[in-house]
């Protein structure tokens, strides 16, 4: 049986919650309403609108990456499908309807404030997705229906020849967009936290956003399928910074007995488990494949859960 894929800790630089699926993907962060008075200046608010549109598209189109990895798990990529593969029944995952996300992201590329490099990457990413998605959908139906039994894999081979370059182009644009969005959102995070603190101090809202932002920084440096050997120094720095955010939340509770419901326990548990994970990686010389892959997946899933509770935690703390 093929080896289960490692996690892709794609902690995207956005503000919309990222759906978790196998293999696990890290969520982007809690949603911040762009018209909230805590988001500060009009420029910051409109930047958040753009970030939300781009991240929503990235979240929803992750399914294409998952579907492609599913396909790669059973087919010989150099030879293409033959019909004799042991796990051919795996097929591909069906894709989600992303028409609304594409429309909103496309509109955002033309809206102010302009971020030319990022906006252009999003436009190319949409084009690459639209080139790949129909091929994946055709292949998904083809293998689900076992049409290869009727045509001796003729369509499967033709689809493979077309899907490989389309998937490679899509993944290149995705990697570039991930990096650019991470930088973009890091800047928004700094501005957003400052705006919240200026308005209401280090409130429950500030605590939740600080925890999620710090945890996402850890996800950014988690090992991935493309980079299974962790940068232990970077991971240490991120975990230490996350630990400071958790202790800041502890201090908040000392003066506010109600604390931040739902998030406190999740945040503390995640910190302890991250430290255990770090010890395992030390013994494995940073290679997550040497006994720590399941722990990594579990950590990303826990992060996903914490992010999904963030908005509820803020409402309960008011």
Task: Give every CB contact of residue 244 below 8 A, 6+ residues apart in sequence.
Answer: 214
Together in a domain, 207 and 179: no
**Mean local confidence (pLDDT), 127-131:** 98
pLDDT in tens, 73-116: 999 999 999 999 999 999 999 999 999 999 999 999 999 999 99
Which residue from 100, 169, 185, 89 is spatially nearest to 135, judged by alpha carbons?
Answer: 169
**Of 38-52, 131-145, 275-289, which gets the smallest average pLDDT?**
38-52
**Of 10-14, 156-160, 282-286, which gets the smallest average pLDDT?**
10-14
Together in a domain, 211 and 166: no
Query: Where a domain ends, among 181, 200, 219?
Result: 200
Calculate the CA 63 to chain-centre distance: 11
Of 107-111, 262-266, 312-316, highest mean pLDDT:
107-111
Q: State the Cα–Cα distance between residues 27 and 32, nearest whole angstrom.
A: 14
Instruction: Identify the pLDDT of residue 262.
Output: 81
Together in a domain, 189 and 212: no
Together in a domain, 161 and 257: no
Instruction: Identify the pLDDT of residue 318.
Output: 60
Together in a domain, 176 and 216: no
- Give the chain's mean pLDDT: 87
Instruction: Identify the pLDDT of residue 303.
Output: 92
Structure token digits, residue 44: 């910051």
Together in a domain, 69 and 213: no
Together in a domain, 164 and 177: yes
Domain interval for residue 277: 202-318
The answer to whether the peptide bond before residue 256 is cis (omega within 30 degrees of 0) is no
Together in a domain, 237 and 263: yes
- Pick 256 or 37 by higher pLDDT: 256
Is residue 37 exposed (0-12), middle (13-18) or buried (19+ Cβ within 10 Å)? exposed
Q: State the Cα–Cα distance between residues 167 and 67, nearest whole angstrom.
A: 11
Structure token digits, residue 201: 């101090």
pLDDT in tens, 9-25: 333 333 333 233 333 44
Contact present, 228 and 287 (Cβ < 8 Å): yes
The DSSP annotation for 196-213 comes to HHHHHSS-HHHHHHHHHH
Together in a domain, 90 and 101: yes
Together in a domain, 181 and 210: no
Instruction: Identify the pLDDT of residue 257.
Output: 85
pLDDT > 90: percent of the chain: 70
Together in a domain, 191 and 212: no
**Mean local confidence (pLDDT), 215-235:** 90
**Mean local confidence (pLDDT), 161-177:** 97
Query: Where a domain ends, among 153, 184, 200?
Result: 200
Task: Give every CB contact of residue 192 below 8 A, 6+ residues apart in sequence.
Answer: 32, 38, 39, 40, 44, 48, 209
**Mean local confidence (pLDDT), 132-149:** 98
Residue 62 above 80 pLDDT?
yes
Distances from the Cα of 17 to the Cα of 82, 95, 132, 248, 291, angstroms: 39, 18, 24, 24, 29
Q: State the Cα–Cα distance between residues 230 and 238, nearest whole angstrom.
A: 12
**Which CATH number belongs to the domain containing residue 254 in this structure?**
1.20.120
Residue 35 above 60 pLDDT?
no
Together in a domain, 191 and 214: no
**Mean local confidence (pLDDT), 110-137:** 97
Q: Give the total number of structural domains in the chain.
A: 2
Query: Where a domain ends, among 161, 179, 200?
Result: 200
Instruction: Identify the pLDDT of residue 317.
Output: 63
**Mean local confidence (pLDDT), 227-247:** 95
How many CA atoms within 13 Å lie on the side-chain side of 101? 20
Name the pLDDT band for 8 (thresholds 50, 70, 90).
Answer: very low
């Amino acid at each position: 049986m093929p080896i289960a894929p490692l996690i892709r800790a794609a902690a995207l630089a956005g503000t919309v919650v990222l759906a978790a699926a196998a293999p696990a993907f890290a969520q982007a962060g809690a949603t911040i309403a762009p018209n909230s008075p805590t988001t500060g200046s009009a420029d910051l608010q409109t930047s958040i609108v753009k970030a939300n549109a781009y991240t929503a598209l990235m979240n929803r189109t992750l399914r294409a990456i998952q579907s492609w990895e599913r396909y790669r798990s059973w087919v010989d990529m150099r030879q293409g499908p033959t019909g004799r593969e042991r796990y051919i029944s795996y097929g591909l995952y069906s894709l989600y309807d992303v028409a609304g996300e594409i429309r909103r992201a496309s509109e955002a590329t033309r809206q102010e404030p302009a971020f030319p490099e990022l906006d252009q990457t999003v436009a190319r990413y949409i084009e690459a997705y639209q080139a790949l998605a129909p091929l994946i959908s055709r292949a998904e139906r083809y293998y689900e229906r076992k049409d290869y039994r009727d045509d001796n894999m003729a369509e499967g081979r033709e689809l493979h020849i077309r899907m490989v370059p389309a998937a490679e182009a899509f993944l290149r644009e995705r990697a570039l967009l991930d990096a650019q969005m991470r930088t973009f959102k890091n800047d928004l995070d700094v501005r957003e936290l400052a705006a919240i603190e200026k308005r209401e101090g280090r409130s429950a809202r500030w605590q939740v956003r600080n925890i999620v932002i710090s945890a996402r920084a850890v996800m950014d440096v988690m090992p991935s399928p493309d980079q299974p050997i962790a940068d232990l120094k970077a991971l240490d720095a991120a975990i230490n910074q996350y630990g400071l955010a958790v202790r800041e939340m502890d201090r908040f509770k000392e003066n506010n007995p109600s604390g931040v419901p739902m998030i406190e326990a999740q945040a503390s548990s995640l910190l302890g488990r991250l430290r255990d994970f770090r010890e395992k990686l030390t013994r494995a010389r940073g290679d997550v494949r040497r006994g720590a892959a399941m722990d990594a997946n579990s950590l990303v899933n826990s992060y996903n859960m914490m992010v999904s509770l963030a908005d509820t935690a803020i409402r309960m703390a008011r």
